[in-house]
């Protein structure tokens, strides 16, 4: 279990009530931010402290891995906001009635803050530019002493000590399931744009069916790929034409481009689409550090000996670069 501290700032009400955290993928200058990249390290059941308006407002457990998602409409963008894509993690936040101010307890917590990439200043005041920061167990334990039973109730849901160890036989409370509403709304919006456009009906049908990895897109991909690169299944009935650059993030030309697809079995399509795996240009299968290695092994992918799947052509490498940069759950 990891322990995180999020500084919501002006988006607090939307994120806390909506039970998620969201940030851009890059800073305004186009460079990555450690505090943004941290979202890619979050795994379900991690503990997240919520800080806003000088107080710790509550805490909760992450209920999803990180996923690519548009900037929430409630932040103030409309219409073209779908083109502003960032990282999102769903968190089951619980509100505290005892909202402490870190600056009041600065003497107790200042020496427990991380030396680098801390979420707040030694004085207990907020830190400009810090969004999601990892904090050490010792700081979480001190906060537990200060906040008391409300944090204890959240902590007990993790099924682990602040050191992150728990018994495998232990029965854990069920986490709320993440339904990725943002992604569904995003794709539905894009599909409606296609249906309302003035392009010919056969093209509309091809673009809509491509969303599910079928139809004309699958036919195009079969012109380049012949089997699942990982499982080597060749029967089309068991293969999905998986977009490398996701359908929702592609323009109409890219949505049907033969080299923007790989033939994958459903389980491998899931891992690829969610960013748990990716591929290097030379054909090395890349495994995300946050992936559940036991689950991947049961799905037929040995993380200790990742397969080499063969090199990719120039156009495929172009789309794979996007996947590694914008979907693969491995911090830069």
Alpha carbon distances (Å) from 164 to 36, 140, 150, 155, 158: 23, 12, 20, 11, 9
Phi-psi bin for 54: left (phi > 0), alpha (psi -120 to 50), beta?
Answer: left
Question: Mean pLDDT by 10-residue block, N- to C-terminus, for the chain (332 residues)?
Answer: 93 94 90 95 96 96 94 64 78 96 96 96 92 97 95 85 54 68 87 95 97 96 97 97 97 98 97 97 96 95 95 97 96 83
Per-residue pLDDT, 79: 41
Domain range 3-157, its CATH number among 3.90.380.10, 3.10.590.10, 3.40.1380.10, 3.40.50.1000: 3.10.590.10
Per-residue pLDDT, 163: 58
**What are the beta bridge partners of residue 3?**
47
pTM for the complete prediction?
0.89
Domain spans, the chain? 3-157, 186-326
């Amino acid at each position: 279990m990891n322990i995180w501290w999020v500084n919501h700032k002006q988006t607090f009400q939307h994120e806390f009530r909506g039970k998620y955290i969201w940030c851009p993928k890059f800073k305004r200058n186009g460079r990555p931010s450690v505090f943004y990249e941290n979202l890619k390290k979050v795994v379900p059941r991690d503990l997240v402290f919520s800080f806003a308006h000088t107080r710790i407002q509550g805490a909760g457990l992450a209920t999803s891995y990180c996923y690519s998602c548009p900037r929430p409409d409630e932040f103030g963008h409309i219409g073209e906001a779908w083109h502003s894509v960032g990282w999102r993690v769903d968190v089951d936040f619980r509100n505290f009635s005892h909202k402490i101010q870190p600056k009041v307890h600065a003497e107790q917590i200042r020496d427990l803050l991380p030396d680098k990439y801390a979420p707040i200043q030694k004085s207990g005041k907020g830190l400009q530019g810090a969004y999601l920061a990892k904090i050490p167990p010792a700081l979480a334990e001190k906060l537990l002493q200060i906040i008391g039973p409300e944090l204890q109730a959240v902590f007990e849901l993790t099924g682990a000590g602040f050191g992150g160890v728990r018994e495998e036989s232990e029965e854990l409370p069920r986490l709320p399931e993440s339904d990725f509403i943002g992604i569904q709304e995003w794709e539905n919006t894009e599909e409606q744009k296609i249906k309302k456009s003035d392009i010919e009906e056969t093209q509309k049908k091809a673009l809509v069916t491509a969303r599910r990895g079928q139809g004309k897109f699958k036919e195009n991909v079969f012109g380049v790929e012949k089997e699942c690169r990982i499982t080597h299944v060749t029967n089309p009935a068991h293969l999905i034409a998986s977009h490398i650059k996701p359908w929702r993030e592609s323009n109409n030309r890219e949505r049907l481009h033969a080299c923007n697809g790989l033939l994958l079995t459903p389980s491998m399509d899931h891992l690829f689409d969610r960013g748990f795996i990716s591929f290097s240009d030379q054909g090395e299968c890349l495994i995300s550090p946050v992936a559940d290695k036991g689950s991947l092994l049961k799905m037929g992918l040995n993380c200790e000996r990742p397969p080499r799947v063969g090199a990719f052509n120039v156009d495929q490498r172009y789309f794979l670069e996007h996947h590694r940069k914008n979907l693969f759950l491995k911090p830069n």
